[in-house]
A = this chain, B = another copy of it.
């Protein structure tokens, strides 16, 4: 066979479809892109820092993870293969635990996507499974003592977090609970974050632990199969991600933001995180684009643009009745919604206070926001 043929074959699955020698071009209007606006102070980067390929127990080659991320418009991913759990080892006996990352990193070069070296330290409880991101060499984390693995990860400059602390395979009641080992890791600053959101689950108890122990709130897909299937993208679903509020779009700035705890997890239609971070994202999303009284009446139509993927559910906390709504108000994602506010007399300015029911800042507490309105 000619060399030429091999070369083409080799490139074949990785070529952009427009370069492939067949049929109708497919333009991927990026309707599945995950979008949240930058905040006043930070860039809002979208990251999924927990996923698997055939190099541990996932079902895809790393190229699929790269293309999923590109299609979802993510800023960063990490292929966090299980270090100790290698069910495909018979078929993929590769000894280098960096291998999946190295393949993905090269494939991502033409794309505007950061691939961060990571690994999943896979242990029974405690400490359960943990991810280490921004490491230098995954192989060196293959150490018997889990605490030693954390020490090594930190030596390499890692950001680490506790995975699915609510996983019923490791804790039958699903209640995320700190052990002494965790407390020690936290105290020694070896453990920095915790998954409040993993795949199709969200953990109120993990959120409590994050807040009480100053751990970074994480949301990840932990995808093993296909993102398209697991999250019903064709019906408008999305994978869980972590919004990272960073000063720049660089790995360094991302790591600094993660260490500093500047994150919001985005799960189904729920945002969850520390109040200042959730507030920054929600307030950046909302903008009053018009406000005008109907004729001589004292009812003012207020139009709010929501520049985000979240369909914010608002509870009206203002003293004003609305003429347009009773019960929760839904602000259409990436669109505008109007509410008609009864101010009893025409006002030069007013403020509307809402509880954002799907923006959780504590396990039992949703964010409150105030919009300042100046009717024309």
Give the segment of A73-81, A90-98, A368-376 that binds chain B.
A90-98
Q: Is A33 an interface residue (CB 8 A)?
A: no
With a 10 A CB-CB cut-off, give which of A55, A57, A67, A340 has the most chain B CB atoms: A340
Residues 170 to 208 of chain A near chain B (Cβ within 8 Å): 170, 172-175, 198-205, 207
Task: Known contacts A84-B1, A224-B13; decide if A327 and B23 are in contact (CB<8 Å).
Answer: no
Query: Which residue of B is nearest A2, CB measured?
Result: B124
Q: Which of B87, B230, B359, B360 contacts A10 (CB 8 A)?
A: B87
User: A24 to B175, Cβ gap below 8 A?
Assistant: no
Task: Known contacts A168-B299, A173-B297, A326-B272; decide if A1 and B91 are in contact (CB<8 Å).
Answer: no
Q: Which of B18, B200, B345 contacts A22 (CB 8 A)?
A: B200
14 further contact pairs, Cβ within 8 A, besides A24-B337, A60-B64:
A1-B123, A5-B169, A21-B340, A23-B324, A23-B325, A25-B303, A59-B61, A67-B225, A174-B298, A201-B340, A202-B322, A204-B322, A228-B229, A327-B358
19 contacts between A and B (CB under 8 A): A1-B85, A1-B123, A12-B57, A20-B294, A21-B167, A22-B323, A24-B337, A24-B339, A54-B61, A59-B60, A63-B225, A172-B298, A174-B299, A202-B325, A226-B226, A270-B326, A270-B327, A327-B366, A357-B357
Task: Tally chain A residues at the interface, Cβ within 8 Å.
Answer: 111
**Nearest Cβ in chain B — how far from A43, in angstroms?**
26
Q: Which of B13, B122, B172, B198 contacts A58 (CB 8 A)?
A: B13
User: B175 to A22, Cβ gap below 8 A?
Assistant: no
**Nearest Cβ in chain B — how far from A144, in angstroms?**
12
Per the bound structure, the CA–CA distance linking A8 and B173 in Å amounts to 16
A contacts, CB < 8 Å to B: 1-2, 4-6, 8-10, 12-13, 17-27, 54-55, 57-61, 63-64, 67, 71, 82, 84-85, 87-88, 90-94, 99, 122-124, 166-170, 172-175, 198-205, 207, 224-226, 228-230, 232-234, 267-270, 272, 294-299, 301, 303, 313, 315, 321-328, 330, 336-340, 342, 344-345, 357-360, 363, 366
**Chain multiplicity (copies):** 4
**Nearest Cβ in chain B — how far from A221, in angstroms?**
11
User: B324 to A21, Cβ gap below 8 A?
Assistant: no
